[in-house]
Structure 1
Amino acid sequence: MNENTLEILQMNALQLLGIQLEGYDMSDIKGISTHIKTPFTNTARKQFKNELKHFIVHMNSNKIYHYSNSFDVNFLIFKFKKNKQIYIIGPYMEQRPNERRCNELLQRANIKISKLSILKQYLLSIPLCHHVKAQKMCRLAIRFLKNRNVVYETVKIDFKFHSTIEVLAESRVQMEYTLQEIEQRYNLENQLLTAIENGNVTEALSILNEMNVSVSGLRRVKDDISNEQYKAFLINTLCRKAGEKAGISLIHIDEMSERYAGIIDQTMDGEMLDEVIHAIVKEYAERAMKTKANAYSPKVSKVIQYIERNLDNQLTLKELASHVDLAPSYLSRIFNQEIHKSISQYIIELRVKKARDLIARTKMTVAEVASYVGFKEQSYFTQCFKKQYGMPPLKYRT
């Protein structure tokens, strides 16, 4: 199975339906349990692990399993025995429950009514998707991942993870789950700001897709269109601040911001508003990229843009020279003349600068940040960070 096939399917599931498609090794019980758990699931319980292991081992490779948990959240699961993989589509809900239904769900799961706010936070993070569409996506995944054009039977399953109050996760764990959901949203928001500021168009749009899933059920106002407009205005404001930090002309920023504010105000269709948000992020990121590029010659600008787009990869002088059709030695010389530093030094400093923004704006660990910006070893990242900013990453954060 080609990894590119899975990535394309994941992108389609996310962009067309707003839902996840993930693959796990059959032995990855922790990963699978994390994917399907709720704030109330006690994943450390022996019964939970045994029941999940038993299900995975005895799954039929020629069936699709439909798991609907105690809160009407759905997952479609299938097995690729040859590759020892389990694939999960979801979570998703067919409709958002009202207050009364949320209370009924808590009672059905033997959970105290005082946990209503935690349940609401969980359900707001679940995207809406019609079950028939999710099934079609599942069958498409089977067709291309297994290279088999067959229609598998769909079988309903129930793990019964919430049968009694004694098997629920501790209150502390429930609250931590809620806080993690909130932190994740703010982390993505700040990563989006960093990507736009650095002119990384592809990365910014990818993060926007993740944000759309994470806030799929989040409501600030009662009316659906007004809620979508609220999100669009918020993105416009965030992009404006990122553009300012990127050095975009204030005149251009004001023109873009005013133009998009007018478009948002006049758009009364949810799908059209999604397209507007996509256009806002794309234009601001592209303008930031052009602003940076204008300071240097075309060849050097092209190299800088390539470096910024591929910062998390292992970049070589030969690869960069090939990208602009120059001899490596000549590229190295003109880069030094214009930037006043070597290409390797520029890459390290750019990685550390991007890491600094993530350290300051997100709750990502130092190890996660180091890997995210392209450092193989955390110790070397810390050493470079300290050299550039006079202190280690954690001290900089505090």
Structure 2
Amino acid sequence: MENAFPVARELIESIFGLTVQALSTAEDYERFCRENMLHPVQQFFRAEDLRKLSDSMQEGDVVYIQDQFQIDFIIFCWDGQSVLLGPFCTHIFSRGDCMQLLKKLTLSAGLYDSLLSYRDRFPLMNFSSVFHITTSLIKLISDREYHFHTIDYASVSEGYVKSDETTIRQQYSQFICEHYSAEQQFMHSIQTGDSESALVQLQHLQRGFQSFKKLGTTLENERIAAAIVRTMVRIAAVRTGLPTLSIDMLSRANTIATKKAKTIDQIYAEKEKMVIAFCEEVKAHNEQGYSHLISSVIYYMEHEYDEGITVAQLAEEFHVSPNYLTSTFHRETGQTPTDYLRRIRTRQARRLLLTTNLSIQKVSEKIGIDDSNYFVKLFKKDYGMTPSQYRKQYKL
């Protein structure tokens, strides 16, 4: 049975993201508490108290604990050591929840951001799922009868006041103000092309709205939420002067992906992908300083290079004459549209040569050139060797 524990622990952590730890020495307890404690008020994360609890337990005891910050654990004794599942959280935590809890514990509001970030470290799981995982693990490693107990440190603190109607209205007003502020920060991050900051703000927006409502969610609700985020991103992108074509293509891609998504996690992932893509485009646009026309043409070529693009077609697409397009493009970029498109195509061809086993003809077709001999000529112009020679020399 002992050999089954490491395998079961690895499976639980891989599938559910739920940490499973065996604590036996004083160093184990110290390490666990040091890695997981945010504030001394968390009695369960004091190594001495955790050790005392463990020593007081007998084989067969299973204890569920929720600490002062509403962080959850399950602990049981097995083979002379304590097995601990967690930390995990059983519900989403809103900004209002955070402020109310800090007030309840008479702690400084300065812990606000730290507490929200702290809780984000742990998986969000319903209790019944964790209880089922625990009992399954116990059955696998032991044949003992187990008895379940609960310790709720969260209810020990004094000062909690049940919200009346007036308090709820005040909390809702505060939530709206905070949510609006978060939206503005999110849009500002898009406008500056800061994808890291934008993703952090996106997480705050999602968590805050869902947790305040205290409702479950559905695929349709999340598709609506994705459309709202998409609108905010589009508005922010317009403010930066990002070409309309770029905005429409990125937005359309997210709309299609969201409709095809089969799970809420997929919708979240597509939203994050869209935010990153917009930030990259905004950042590139701000750094290049090209005109609206040339930025749009470049974006079109970079995303439609596999089509039969000509200067005449580009001019028609953007409602200018071919001569005007060519002269303006050359003035701003130092290249003709044809040369710029060639370099896009050969760069993509180089990637395919190094990462796939496609034939030269197939690579040529993938980048929008039907004549493979012409493709070889263009590639050699940019890289000084044929596609076959390049693949042979550089492909691992």
TM-score normalised by L of structure 2: 0.42
Higher Cα radius of gyration: 2
Structure ranking higher on relative contact order (CA contacts 8 Å, 6+ apart): 1
TM-score normalised by L of structure 1: 0.42
